[in-house]
Amino acid sequence: MFTDIDHKHAIAQAFGRAAASYDRFADVQRASGEHLLDLMPAHNGIQVLDAGCGTGYFSRHWQRQGKHVTALDLSPTMLAYAREQRAAECYVQGDIEHLPLGAGCVDISYSNLAVQWCDDLPRALAELYRVTRRTGIIAFSTLAAGSLHELSQAWAQWDGTRRVNHFLPAEAIAAACQPYRHQLHQECITCYFPDVLNLMKSLKGIGATWLQQGRAPGLLSRSRLNGFSAVYPRRPEGYPLSYHLIYGVIYRD
């Protein structure tokens, strides 16, 4: 039987394997993180939680702003990489749904493209709210239904399987924010690749290869890759991969 603990462990391992390559492939993650920063109101608080810090790219941004950063990640390998980069003042391995932090200990909780890996988004947001002190800010970005739809459709056509993770519809993400004073924004980003092999490498390079039903997609042989490429949608710009992004800013009252 595949448990929630097994699920989280497998996610941590998938991202850990990608730690060294992550920043080379994380164009969407950087774009979403920058947009999230732009949406946040100015705040003079010092203590920042980077929840799902990955390699510490945005932890370093907060450091440059003079903040005291707590970098948290589910993957010990990712966290070790962030530590090597001296990305934060404090490093914590933990799950956003069960934050190992005290109530009201940070001024800003920032989480860029991490909560889509949580099993229970309302619980994750409640935890971020709990650890943020009054007058603070919680800012998150996540993927919504429709993300990677070209890949999902191609797999379904190719072998009838669903090899793309389930993402919550925008309405469910909005419902999770309803208990709080908040603002939501949406954005769609489409990346183009010269071939399907490079498209798949872009996902593997950031560790986004774990499936929530409890298995990772198998590697394609050259002949199978050619067949899969034939059913993958193609546009003049190349092979598309789309992301439906939701940005949320929650005000800690």
Q: What is the pLDDT of residue 28?
A: 96
pLDDT, the chain, mean: 91
Q: 22 φ, ψ to 5°?
A: -55, -50
Q: Are strands 106-112 and 132-143 parallel, antiparallel or unpaired?
A: parallel
Band (245; pLDDT cuts 50, 70, 90)? very high
DSSP assignment of 99-116: --S-TT-EEEEEEES-GG
Helix (H) or strand (E) run with residue 71 in it: strand 68-73
Band (14; pLDDT cuts 50, 70, 90)? confident
Tokens of 100: 């190992």
Please compute the mean of the pLDDT values over residues 143-160 and round it to a whole number: 91
Q: Where are the domains of the chain?
A: 4-146+166-190+243-251
pLDDT in tens, 107-118: 999 999 999 999
Q: What is the pLDDT of residue 216?
A: 45
Band (165; pLDDT cuts 50, 70, 90)? confident
Res. 2: pLDDT tops 80: no
Contact 56, 87 (CB under 8 A): yes
How many residues appear in the chain? Answer: 253
Res. 139: pLDDT tops 90: yes
pTM comes to 0.91
Cα radius of gyration (the chain): 18
Q: Which long-range contacts (CB under 8 A, 24 or more apart) does 151-160 make?
A: 151/199, 151/232, 151/241, 153/233, 154/228, 154/231, 154/232, 154/233, 155/228, 157/231, 158/227, 158/228, 158/231
Alpha carbon distance 74, 211 (integer Å): 16
Domain 4-146+166-190+243-251, classified CATH 3.40.50.150, yes or no: yes
Alpha carbon distance 80, 19 (integer Å): 9
Which one has a higher pLDDT value, 85 or 209?
85
pLDDT in tens, 17-65: 878 888 898 999 999 999 999 999 999 999 999 999 999 999 999 999 9
Number of C-beta neighbours around residue 51 at 10 A: 29
pLDDT in tens, 56-109: 999 999 999 999 999 999 999 999 999 999 999 999 999 999 999 999 999 999
